[in-house]
Amino acid sequence: MITRFDEIMGRRGEIMRGALGMDYSRFERSPIAFDYEAMMSDHGYSLDDIVAIQTTAGVGNTPLLELRNITDLVRSISEAGKGARIFVKDEAANLAGAFKDRRASVSIHVAKEKGYDGVIAATSGNYGAAVASQAARYGLKCIICQETFDSRHIGQPEIVEKARVCEAYGAEVVQMTVGPELFFHMLELLDQTGYFAASLYSSFGVSGIETLGLEISREMRALTGADPTACVITHAGGGNTTGTARGLQRAGATTTQIVSASVDLSGLHMASDTDFNRKSFTTGHTGFGVPFATWPDRADVPRNAARPLRYIDRYLTVTQGEVFYVTEAMAKLEGLERGPAGNTAMAAAMSLAREMPRAATVVVQETEYTGAGKHHWAQLNFAREMGVEVRCGDPADNKPGTVIVIPERPEQLQAKDFDLLRMRKSYVRNAVKAAPADYVPTAADVAFLAADTKTDAATVEAMLAELREA
């Protein structure tokens, strides 16, 4: 029996063609490969055009700050000659308080330019506020689909606050319980309203983040005379990593190492009713970071513009307690009280900087605003209410959903490398699985998979051989 869910999801490509004005089939080259760069440039806006759009929209040109006190702290616990300089791009200075304003600004500009009456986005967090803010500036109607509650109708403080913020900007918020329905409801509403899809995963939104990488390169050259040695990026669905890395490359910062960072929430399932409220992070965690990296096209669009494995050089994970510790350190040492999502990358950066020479530079490419439900104290209090133990000690004892261990000393901050090769193999396996069962990958497919995993043809051929033998 075909359900409404099956019918809507089966028409995803058709609905998105109307809601984005893009025919994704034009980019397909085979059951595996598609022309990624053609899709990314299809909107017709140059990077200079996007800068102009964002300037008009009150987005971008945020401060790049050197964190001298944090750097001194890191150097005090590093080996002689180690301890890179740490900088942060303060994206909380955007209108809605996060880097996602860059994403929203381009999507909403396109919606207005193409004559749509309104916009719809599926998001539980900062992106919804960004879309609602930009829609208000452009005079467009706005609907935000938000996964908010567990089956007991209990919502996380951060998500509940985001609903309030979206409504303050004039948006209608459609709230639902956790499960697989988020993209379905977005598609259904797009089908009913004829509104524009302000998708997180379209080329419009991801292209909007490229200005962040561009600004980092230009500002670091002005401040230090060189591009950053490493750029640390909080990683969830992959758009943040993809857009920033592309912007750095387009600015000529080809030697900057791209380091993604996520909170380790292994053992928790993001679509689980019982696990939903036992995590203290709604984004920037492995529950999104790993599945979306290893199969980007699980999104609401037929082909996802966020393809982080094309750009990641290293993927670090940190614990929840380490991020809360760094959030306090940022406030007390640098006078920057910012939300935990950006501080995920900061926790990884402080650990990374200890490995690097003092002449090196590390840029954390975003902060987000904090307050009320987004504040780390609210998150910790909620964790206790959900039965999660919160204590100080060794963060190695952290267990997602059971205990949050906040470090007692900065020396205990220790980011861990996630196995990128394993992720790349998972991606190739998923790409082959999505193709017809009797399909044999061609040389063009191998070249595409090599680009999509930042490897080479020989590596992909070896992965395919492993799959055939399995």
Same domain, yes or no: 193 and 231: no
Same domain, yes or no: 31 and 91: no
**340 or 405, higher pLDDT:** 405
Share of the chain above pLDDT 70, in %: 100
**48 or 273, higher pLDDT:** 48
Say which residues have a Cβ less than 8 Å from residue 166's Cβ, sequence separation at least 6.
Answer: 128, 129, 132, 142, 144, 146, 173
Lowest mean pLDDT among 24-28, 47-51, 179-183, 281-285: 179-183
pLDDT tens per residue across span 265-312: 998 887 788 888 888 888 889 998 999 999 999 988 889 999 999 999
Same domain, yes or no: 266 and 196: no
pLDDT band at 380 (very low <50, low <70, confident <90, very high): very high
Same domain, yes or no: 395 and 247: yes
DSSP calls for 111-165: HHHTT-SEEEEE-SSHHHHHHHHHHHHHT-EEEEEEEEE-TT--B-HHHHHHHHH
Model pLDDT, residue 350 = 98
Q: What is the mean pLDDT of residues 355-383?
A: 92
Same domain, yes or no: 118 and 233: no
Model pLDDT, residue 180 = 74
- The pLDDT mean for the chain works out to 94
| pLDDT at 150 > cutoff 80 | yes
Same domain, yes or no: 21 and 153: yes
Model pLDDT, residue 12 = 83
Same domain, yes or no: 331 and 233: yes
Model pLDDT, residue 449 = 98
Model pLDDT, residue 269 = 83
Model pLDDT, residue 183 = 83
| pLDDT at 340 > cutoff 80 | yes
* Residue that is last in its domain, among 142, 175, 203: 203
| pLDDT at 179 > cutoff 80 | no
Residue carrying structure tokens 């200005």: 211
Task: Count the domains in the chain.
Answer: 3
Nearest-angstrom CA–CA distance, 129 and 198: 12
pLDDT tens per residue across span 77-113: 999 999 999 999 999 999 999 999 999 999 999 999 9
What is the extent of the structural domain holding 106? 4-52+98-203
